[in-house]
Structure 1
């Protein structure tokens, strides 16, 4: 017979160790930044790095310390207004477009805030250990929430530095983004009934729950994502000038933005370059294509006479394909699984409220924190967004 108490104790210990690892990693990501880098917000989708550091700290303060640790004293009562992201249940907040206008609290203030909350969380672990079973789900959610923001931090830092005309380097070592583009082939899956959705033990987000059956027609899917060189053929063939490849909204996006290449690509002296976290580099044709939006992904697939896989096809194929270099656009709208129910209170706002006008991505990228993704993970973004580490896999 399993010792349940021992199992819970071990789980609490594991989560406490994860807490310190994950919290320290956020600080590590920001270590190469200059103070000025922490405050910049070039576009609405990019948040200043200091806001991410404050918001992830606010999450633990708001959802764990305040309701479950009576001894806790709030660090600064105004921070709830500053660092609440989108939780209507929690109260008013600074609108997203104004995050870059917040010169105060200072970067130093925010690091003091992190240190204070971490200190209080340590006391929470020590003094309330016998009550931690009640909040394990919230603690796990908080840790995975911070890992999501670590990926956003890297993406936002790249956008901030990549739109500086000096193209400054974030780090000296190159991005680990090479893929083995050998034996890239199409593999076939038979028509039939399959099951998708999370099962087993471990953490998952609520939008992964509701394992269910789907019927799939026979399909083929590529074992590798599209490379820079393959996408360059699309560009040189006039892909951005031919409306026939694009959805109507995608063609509008091309014209409105004068789009002619992926984000961070620059043609200098007839040489294609791209901005990386280690600075401006000559484009490597064998590297996995990066920073593509849904419109571009669908247009490229159409040009190739193929399509994007559905999220069900991707999940069924996941054990037989190479993934993890790029988040991969699918042809599936972000919708609830059968039986999906939002949790009560603020936690219920986590995923369900965004199930409209967005497309699903599957996989992970080099910006994804270690161990954060799984084949059932349902990432989602609006169709025009390029700033995340996104690429293309073909299907037919």
Structure 2
């Protein structure tokens, strides 16, 4: 818990005062709101829900409850300033650590709050990329390769596989529960995610102009977004460059493709005669390849597993079933404690701001 809070505060410290004002975009939150929300969430579930404490801030719910405060309204709130917000985070941390030290904290809710903070840490890093801010303190982005040395597919035997978390696995989210049998035909899956170099071939071959490569929803998205290339790519000095936070770097052909939306992944697969794996295939094969450099889109819609029952944090999964696609793995910016083969990330198929790429299967 201390490490998560230290990481959050290091990320906050990287922001200049002038960077606290951000444009109203569907894919970002006001920084002071997001920081306060992280503290409020921990207070709500550990101190108030589990320990029965009264609120530390009488206005906390009105400011920071993400289920009750619409996204666009967060820019209109008279939020506490930077110093007061940081003081609130530290106060919540002290109170929760005191409960932990006294053996009075429920482990489940402490872990829930830590993993929630981990996910917001990555989302706050997304925001710095989206807004072309300087790079935050993160592991080296060069982690992970997708070049010729990792070419080819790994064969996977068919059969009935258990997909999902098992009781005794430690903390898992409600959408991972529980392990259930899935029948899989034999298949193969790439040893590495699609590289930036391979994606550049799709772009050069007119991939964004060729209607036959896109599904109906994907073509509508491409037209509305006026997408002619990946979101952070531009022509520089006769080749492609990509924007890495606030600097432009020559495209690295052997690095995994990143900042691709699901629609772009789908179109690339049609162009290459490949397909995205289902999330069950991805999980079944996860021990056969290295993952964790980029989130990886799957073909699967985000749906509940058989017998799904929401955990106390009911808003985590249930509202998003059917409208999002599943990603597996993790990115270089994901805190390592979140990485497990059963973890299900989920975004709408138009999102290009996450560090997401994709791995493919032969058709």
The answer to whether 1:48 aligns with 2:30 is: yes
Residue 129 of structure 2 corresponds to which residue in structure 1?
A: 158
Q: Which runs of 5+ in 1 are unaligned?
A: 1-18, 87-92, 163-167
Residue 226 of structure 2 corresponds to which residue in structure 1?
A: 258
Residue 287 of structure 2 corresponds to which residue in structure 1?
A: 319
Q: Which runs of 5+ in 2 are unaligned?
A: none
Question: Judging changes above 3 Å, is the alpha-carbon distance between structure 1 residues 329 and 213 closer, same or farther for their aligned structure 2 residues?
Answer: same
Within the candidate set 68, 87, 99, 2:74 is matched to 99
Q: Distance in 1 between matches of 2:297 and 2:185?
A: 20
Does structure 2 retain, via aligned residues, the 8 Å contact 1:41–1:99?
no
The answer to whether 1:309 aligns with 2:272 is: no
Question: Judging changes above 3 Å, is the alpha-carbon distance between structure 1 residues 21 and 173 closer, same or farther for their aligned structure 2 residues?
Answer: closer
SS at match of 2:275: coil
Question: Judging changes above 3 Å, is the alpha-carbon distance between structure 1 residues 152 and 245 closer, same or farther for their aligned structure 2 residues?
Answer: same
Q: Distance in 2 between matches of 1:104 and 1:253?
A: 35
Question: Judging changes above 3 Å, is the alpha-carbon distance between structure 1 residues 67 and 316 closer, same or farther for their aligned structure 2 residues?
Answer: closer
The answer to whether 1:81 aligns with 2:62 is: yes
SS at match of 2:86: helix
How far did 1:50 drift? Answer: 2.3
SS at match of 2:182: strand
Does structure 2 retain, via aligned residues, the 8 Å contact 1:171–1:278?
no
Residue 242 of structure 2 corresponds to which residue in structure 1?
A: 274
Structure showing greater radius of gyration is 1
CA RMSD of the aligned region, Å? 2.0
How far did 1:212 drift? Answer: 0.9
SS at match of 2:178: coil
Alignment of structure 1 residues 335-350 onto 2, 5 Å: 335-343=303-311, 347-350=313-316
TM-score normalised by L of structure 1: 0.86
1:49-107 CA-to-partner distances (Å, cap 9, x unmatched) read 3222111100121122124445x553321121111112xxxxxx331023234463212
Residue 395 of structure 1 corresponds to which residue in structure 2?
A: 361
Question: Judging changes above 3 Å, is the alpha-carbon distance between structure 1 residues 81 and 245 closer, same or farther for their aligned structure 2 residues?
Answer: same
Residue 384 of structure 1 corresponds to which residue in structure 2?
A: 350
How far did 1:278 drift? Answer: 5.9
Does structure 2 retain, via aligned residues, the 8 Å contact 1:39–1:102?
no
How far did 1:376 drift? Answer: 0.5
The answer to whether 1:183 aligns with 2:150 is: yes
Q: Distance in 2 between matches of 1:245 and 1:314?
A: 23
How far did 1:269 drift? Answer: 4.5
The answer to whether 1:229 aligns with 2:200 is: no
Question: Judging changes above 3 Å, is the alpha-carbon distance between structure 1 residues 192 and 126 closer, same or farther for their aligned structure 2 residues?
Answer: closer
Q: Distance in 1 between matches of 2:300 and 2:54?
A: 45
Question: Judging changes above 3 Å, is the alpha-carbon distance between structure 1 residues 226 and 303 closer, same or farther for their aligned structure 2 residues?
Answer: same
How far did 1:140 drift? Answer: 1.3
TM-score normalised by L of structure 2: 0.93
Q: Distance in 2 between matches of 1:224 and 1:307?
A: 14
Aligned length: 360
Greater Cα offset, 251-260 or 38-47: 38-47
Q: Distance in 2 between matches of 1:299 and 1:316?
A: 25
Q: Distance in 1 between matches of 2:51 and 2:157?
A: 54
The answer to whether 1:358 aligns with 2:331 is: no
Residue 9 of structure 1 corresponds to which residue in structure 2?
A: none
Does structure 2 retain, via aligned residues, the 8 Å contact 1:240–1:259?
yes
Q: Distance in 1 between matches of 2:214 and 2:91?
A: 51
SS at match of 2:29: coil
